[in-house]
Structure 1
Amino acid sequence: MHAFKLIPAAALLCALAACGSDDDAAETEAPAAPKTPAVVISKADADALRAEIYPLWNPPAEPPCHAQLKIRIDLAEDGSVVRADAKPELAFDDPCRGAQDAAIRAIWAASPLDVPRHREWNSLTLIFDRDALM
């Protein structure tokens, strides 16, 4: 049983602003941002990331957390972590907040990650599941 799963990464979407005139009668709509297909990370890449990050995750024993924690990671070309954000970020009094913070620390500690140089993805969401440890 895997400790966490990778969710297919989606490319960043650009929001295009509408160009208009000062004339109140003339309205223009912003063109829709092109949809990019979700890029799926290979099983080998997912397993390699798990092997790098998961051993560094040390969630607190108390209070126990039985939730799956989602952490969004953005990577630089060399595999360095640029950003690691909880999705959603838990409240400070949530019993799983300590486990969530530990997951983010583990990701930063593993940086730079050993990722393929020529990959189609630069961001991904990891799911940390403490119950999968047992």
Structure 2
Amino acid sequence: MAKLLDQQKKAQPPKPSDATKKPEQNFDPNALEKLLQSKETPQKMASTGTEISKTSTAGSATGTASKLTLSQRDQLSGLLKDQIAKCWSPPAWVTGADNLRPTIRIGLREDGSLDGLPAATDSSSDPSMKAMEESAIRAIRQCAPFNIPPQFKSYYADWKSLAVTFDMKAML
């Protein structure tokens, strides 16, 4: 039994002496405060200038721009389609033209002139649809500038980019 106790004592790791003990660290809140004060103030992220601009660069500054109601949008769309219909002559050779409805995206300036070239929204490889799209684009270019009634001028943000669908049944 004595041998067993001697073996257990030898197997136990030696206890650290007072000389190898780490000095006890006391928490000092003043040292922590000094450390925090010595850090640099963080830079603002995502700012390229020296100062962030408070002026809006898109939309209205307050976010309260007037919006067209659905009935106003329909009224303006109808007025534009009436103007375009006077310039549109769909190709006579296209069979089934009554069922083809090309949609053309147009950009407008405040004075009603075109802002860029009109383009088909879903360009097709079908020759009949391609011919209808081209005739619609020609009509838009011929009719421009469009007469935009004064009551719609304040809603320019809503009608500066429009998609116009050309439907022979409705427009001719």
What's the TM-score bracket when you normalise by the shorter of the two chains?
Answer: 0.5 to 0.7
Does residue 60 of structure 2 align to residue 60 of structure 1?
no
Gaps of 5+ in 1: 1-18, 20-35
Instruction: Let me know the Cα RMSD of the aligned residues.
Output: 2.6
| 2:131 corresponds to which of 98, 119, 123 | 98
Aligned to 1:129: 167
Which structure carries more helix by proportion?
2
Deviation larger for 40-49 or 67-76: 40-49
Within-5 A mapping of 1:34-113: 40=70, 41-64=72-95, 65=97, 66-82=99-115, 83-91=117-125, 94-113=127-146
Deviation at 1:111, TM superposition (A): 0.7
Q: Tell me, in whole angstroms, the C-alpha distance in 1 between the residues paired with 2:121 and 2:107.
A: 13
Q: Is contact 2:100-2:167 (8 Å) kept?
A: yes
Opposite residue 117 of structure 1, the aligned amino acid is K
By relative contact order (CA 8 Å, sep 6+), the higher-ranking structure is 1
Length-normalised TM-score, structure 1: 0.62
Deviation at 1:133, TM superposition (A): 5.7
Q: Is contact 2:81-2:171 (8 Å) kept?
A: no
Query: Sequence identity of aligned pairs in percent?
Result: 28
Q: Aligned pairs, how many? A: 99
Q: Tell me, in whole angstroms, the C-alpha distance in 1 between the residues paired with 2:169 and 2:80.
A: 19
Which structure carries more strand by proportion?
1
Length-normalised TM-score, structure 2: 0.50
Q: Tell me, in whole angstroms, the C-alpha distance in 2 between the residues paired with 1:105 and 1:112.
A: 13
